[in-house]
Amino acid sequence: MPVLTVPPSTARPALAPAGGRGPVEQAVVAGALAAAGPEMLVRTDVPQPDGSVRLYAAWTDGGGPLADHIDRVALARGLDAWSWVEILTHSAHTTHRGRIEVRTHPLRQVLADVERGHRGNEEYRSSFARILADDAERAGRPPLPEIPAWPGVGPQLWHRYAGDDMVVERHWLGR
């Protein structure tokens, strides 16, 4: 049986990030953004080695201003974080690139749900409130008096939480 001492000229080196995961993550986000149509929110969740998730948010052409408008309408109607979960779950198109999850949300569909005041299933809302209370108790924090306000789909609210960065490190509940 022959033994190769030199790899054939067609062999390619394995792809691995040099100096960190950032360039690979950015390439996945850029690819997801390029594949999405106009007026979309593109959320990319990248699992980290420590069990946390790095969440990237980006908007395609026209998406940023439309998403900020959606946030203003949602807050004026008193929509909360549970409404946000249900509306974004309803609108999401999810794909995977390995362990990385990419969700695209057509913002016109999100706007339609917000304008009609979609609040979501009340039984699930109660369960969500219990999950938040249990997480606060495990972490030694006081429980929230109510479900938090609409967290936002637009860059203005996103910047409020993330500063000037469009990336937020999220840790799973209970960590």
β-pair type (93-97, 53-59): unpaired
List average pLDDT for each run of 10 residues in the chain, which is 175 residues long: 39 42 80 91 89 88 96 95 93 92 96 92 89 89 86 85 50 37
User: Tell me, what amino acid is at 41?
Assistant: L
Identify the pLDDT of residue 169. 44
Q: How many CA atoms lie within 13 A of 107 on its CB side?
A: 28
Identify the pLDDT of residue 161. 56
Residue 147 CA to residue 130 CA, distance in Å, equals 10
Is residue 150 within 8 A of residue 81, CB to CB? The reply is yes
Identify the pLDDT of residue 52. 84
Identify the pLDDT of residue 22. 75
**Sequential DSSP letters for 102-141:** EEEEEHHHHHHHHHTT----HHHHHHHHHHHHHHHHHHTP
Identify the pLDDT of residue 3. 39
Q: How many CA atoms lie within 13 A of 96 on its CB side?
A: 3
Identify the pLDDT of residue 68. 96
Identify the pLDDT of residue 49. 85
Identify the pLDDT of residue 158. 80
